[in-house]
Chains A and B, each alone.
With several copies, the nearest count.
Chain A
Amino acid sequence: MRILAEGEAPYLAVDPDGFRAFVRDHKQRALKPKLMSAHDAISRFVADGDYFVFDCNYFQRGPSTLVREVIRQGKRDLWLCGKFSYVDVGLLVGAGCVSRIDCGFFWPGATIDRAVADGRVRVFEYSNVVMTLRLQAGAMGLPFLPVRSFGGTDGFRHSGAKLVEDPFTGQPITLAPALNPDVAIIHVQQADVYGNARVFGTGIAHQESALASKKVIVSAEEIIDTEEIRRDPGRTSVPYYAVDAVVHAPFGAWPGNCGGYYGSDTPAVIETFAAIARDRVSEYVEKHVAPFADDAAMFDALVGQERLEKLRAAETITEGYRP
């Protein structure tokens, strides 16, 4: 099984045995309540220098409240899993939280352009699917997974992937290195206090991110009773023993759409895009994050109950989202 080609980029060390040992020593097997504030979850479980994955994004059932809290707490030197992202990467880069990005996709603009040009941020190249596949490998406890895409691109040359000779077919096959992030933040519609979490609608890699990551923070629109979880176990997307913190975060995906719960806040979405495009993230942070103790305070000051209710009313679709 010869190695035919290898990417030249640094990548998070592949260490399935080390991850197993971490899981053995730190993942809670017992049913213990994990409900805490966004502030406590982020301060306890996100450390400077962490490899950081967020599922979905700031506009689409993503952990927007948790992203704002990461910025509020001024975390530094994060290595981002930058897949399927619109503004999340730009916001975190603009807020000075980021030193490295594994790129699947992020919304470009002056903020990232400048950070990369100045050498403040290094970018390594993948694709969205290759990143979710790396997370799947990590979620399976494996060192790598094969993939039929990515080979031959310049991304491959600037990644941690390898092209090898498949010992079964003799043909070339790309191997993507497993990814076991230090921390994952995920927003879901429903979770119980133990971390049994339900995602409704499509997703990106919530299950993979939760199982692959050392520390997992789940924010939820609703905290539901465990009895409800037990009444429909087929709806559980992430089991409790993968989860370290549960945050009750109504409108936790604002300004995005949270399927079955509320529509997106279009002016706020456009305002966020503009901040990235014009490298005005600091102004965005000054307005939406810095002045407030938490999102509840921010919603009161900048959005208001009436507007939030309008967003709820705008979400007319419930089929498939409300069991």
Chain B
Amino acid sequence: MSRGDGTVAAGTPASSFNEREMQICTVARMVEDERTYWVAGGGGPMYAVLLAIRLYAPGAQYITEDGVIAPEPLLPFEPVMTMVSSRAGYRALAWGTMNTAGNHAQLGLMDYGLLNTLQVDQHGNINSTAIGTYGERARRFGGPGGADSIAALCWRTVLMTDQEKRKFVERVDFISSPGFLDGTEGARERAGLPPGTGPHRVVTPWAMYDYTTDRRLRLAARAPWVTVEQILAECEYPPVVADEVGVLSGPTEEELQILRSELDPRGQNTGERSAWVVFDGETYTRAAG
């Protein structure tokens, strides 16, 4: 990905920001120029790709589930109006429908899928359906939406989630969208999914994960204000840890300027309850959220 693994940012380190902003900036730096993204409607994924297009990957293009192709959206969005909305679809190159998005991804035209999720497991499987024992005692969630198609059909899937114990598990309570399934070689192909696709990265406000050659989640980099131990303490099932865990750069003033003034001036997504971090020029200090 452009700027390698997202640990490098251009600009002046920001002195104060929240961890949601950190997560969005990290993903933005991973966006590859002149590639296509199927971006889950709204939230972190869309702000990350919009920020990337502004700063790092001007030639990246994205589609959304409603068949918007390569728009130049009119920002900011009204709350939840990120699909089938005139501002979100503004100045697109083409307008289609949900089957347009599904078919184009099925054809292999989408390089990356960018998603939020509720729960992820050691093989990158995604749960957005139910927490608990499905069909018995479970809390019901909304279902995969477009995520199943994104995770199945885009060449590489990048996941955004929070760094919380219950979100990193050995096996998700329900596979809503496919990662490496049971983790065995060829498991996706045996299920009819296209070869060469699958989980690529997971990004939280504290960390970035990739996958080992045997398809296991691996901690690859950490935010400068947290230790590997702190991260592992927030994983119910411990991921593999890379021999060398990189250190992510904090957000830059340039990134926050665009994020806060252009993309999300109301802080609808970037202002979510999340801890604040201050940088005194040498060290980052986290104020409990």
Which residues of A are in contact with B by a Cβ distance under 8 Å? 16-17, 19-24, 27, 29-31, 56-57, 59-61, 82-84, 86, 103-108, 112-113, 116-117, 123, 125-130, 132-133, 136, 139-142, 147-156, 158, 163, 171-174, 194, 196, 201-208, 211, 226, 229-231, 233-234, 236, 239-242, 257, 259-260, 263-264, 266, 269-270, 273, 315, 317, 319-321
Given known pairs A125-B129, A233-B89, A321-B86, the reply for A106 and B142 (CB within 8 Å) is yes
Tell whether, in the assembled complex, residue B191 and residue A320 are in contact, meaning their CB atoms are under 8 Å apart: no
Tell whether, in the assembled complex, residue B36 and residue A270 are in contact, meaning their CB atoms are under 8 Å apart: no
Question: Does B90 touch A at the CB level, under 8 Å?
Answer: yes
User: Size of chain B's interface in residues, with CB distance under 8 A?
Assistant: 77
Which residues of B are in contact with A by a Cβ distance under 8 Å? 33-36, 59, 61, 64-72, 74, 78-81, 83-87, 89-99, 101-104, 106-109, 111, 129, 134, 139-149, 152-153, 155, 174-178, 181, 187-196
CB distance from A294 to the nearest CB of B (A): 25
Tell whether, in the assembled complex, residue B61 and residue A153 are in contact, meaning their CB atoms are under 8 Å apart: no
Tell whether, in the assembled complex, residue A56 and residue B84 are in contact, meaning their CB atoms are under 8 Å apart: yes
Name the residue of chain A whose CB is nearest to the CB of B195: A17
Tell whether, in the assembled complex, residue B141 and residue A108 are in contact, meaning their CB atoms are under 8 Å apart: yes
Residue with the greatest number of chain B CB neighbours at <10 A, chosen from A150, A207, A208: A150
Tell whether, in the assembled complex, residue A150 and residue B107 are in contact, meaning their CB atoms are under 8 Å apart: no
Tell whether, in the assembled complex, residue A106 and residue B143 are in contact, meaning their CB atoms are under 8 Å apart: yes
Picked from A82, A148, A231, A270, the residue with its CB within 8 Å of the CB of B193 is A148
Tell whether, in the assembled complex, residue A153 and residue B85 are in contact, meaning their CB atoms are under 8 Å apart: no
Tell whether, in the assembled complex, residue A141 and residue B142 are in contact, meaning their CB atoms are under 8 Å apart: no
Residues of chain B lying within 8 A (CB to CB) of residue A84: 65-66, 83, 98, 145
Picked from B65, B78, B177, the residue with its CB within 8 Å of the CB of A153 is B177
* Measured CA separation A302–B152 after assembly (Å): 45
Tell whether, in the assembled complex, residue B92 and residue A29 are in contact, meaning their CB atoms are under 8 Å apart: no
Name the residue of chain A whose CB is nearest to the CB of B180: A152
Residues of chain B lying within 8 A (CB to CB) of residue A163: 191-192
Tell whether, in the assembled complex, residue A149 and residue B196 are in contact, meaning their CB atoms are under 8 Å apart: no
Tell whether, in the assembled complex, residue A230 and residue B93 are in contact, meaning their CB atoms are under 8 Å apart: yes
* Measured CA separation A212–B103 after assembly (Å): 11
Tell whether, in the assembled complex, residue A128 and residue B145 are in contact, meaning their CB atoms are under 8 Å apart: yes
Name the residue of chain B whose CB is nearest to the CB of A196: B93
Tell whether, in the assembled complex, residue B66 and residue A203 are in contact, meaning their CB atoms are under 8 Å apart: yes
Tell whether, in the assembled complex, residue A148 and residue B106 are in contact, meaning their CB atoms are under 8 Å apart: yes
Name the residue of chain A whose CB is nearest to the CB of B84: A60
Residue with the greatest number of chain B CB neighbours at <10 A, chosen from A16, A205, A233: A233
Give 21 pairs: A residue, B residue, CB < 8 Å, sorted on A: A21-B108, A30-B61, A84-B83, A129-B148, A129-B149, A132-B98, A151-B178, A151-B193, A152-B188, A152-B191, A152-B192, A155-B174, A156-B191, A201-B89, A202-B97, A203-B67, A205-B97, A208-B97, A236-B69, A257-B84, A266-B78
